[in-house]
């Protein structure tokens, strides 16, 4: 599948759910908020997995921790069992941005802020569970939850340079 077409379809699905449905789902009611957030969360996942790099959600991810890349380089056959795909900007905030969208351009802007990073499961367990970001509009702030974790370009992102 062409990742650009897949991403475009996801933008259109968000537009349909958020702006085109009549009556619209009301995020102020618990039941409708639950459904809306679940649907958008799934669309965020699918958007983040549609990358310009081959290899699916792990190998297609642009950013990797140094430890994850070393593990993959050492054993490329069983790396998936050791890895975790981390949303650098928490999905909760990504979904909030989508819900706040007023038009399809806002939806595109919100989805285009998605950044993921492949980390070792052991590294993932060490991240703070609740990290408050004071400046959500600044990508450099999103990376702070990782502390001193070194990040590098993923294997397929490197090969496309």
First to last CA, the chain: 21
Neighbours of 14 (CB within 10 A): 25
Average confidence (pLDDT) over 68-72: 93
Q: 52: helix, coil or strand? A: coil
Q: Which has more confidence, 137 or 52? A: 52
DSSP state of 82: G
pTM of the predicted structure, to 2 decimals:
0.85
Q: What is the pLDDT of residues 102-124, one digit of tens each?
A: 999 999 999 998 989 999 998 88
> In terms of residue numbers, what domain contains 49?
3-159
Domain count, the chain: 1
């Amino acid at each position: 599948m062409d990742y650009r077409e897949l991403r475009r379809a996801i933008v259109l699905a968000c537009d349909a759910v958020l702006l085109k449905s009549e009556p619209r789902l009301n995020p102020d009611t618990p039941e409708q908020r639950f459904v809306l957030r679940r649907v958008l969360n799934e669309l965020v996942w699918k958007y983040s997995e549609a990358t310009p790099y081959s290899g699916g959600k792990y190998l297609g991810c642009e950013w990797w921790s140094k430890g994850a890349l070393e593990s993959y380089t050492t054993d490329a056959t069983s790396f998936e069992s050791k890895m975790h795909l981390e949303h650098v900007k928490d999905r909760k905030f990504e979904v909030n941005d989508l819900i706040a969208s007023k038009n399809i351009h806002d939806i595109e802007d919100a989805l285009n802020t998605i950044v993921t990073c492949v980390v070792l499961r052991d590294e993932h367990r060490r991240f703070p569970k609740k990290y408050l970001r004071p400046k959500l509009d600044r990508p450099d702030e999103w990376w702070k939850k990782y502390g001193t974790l070194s990040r590098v370009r993923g294997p397929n992102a490197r090969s496309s340079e």
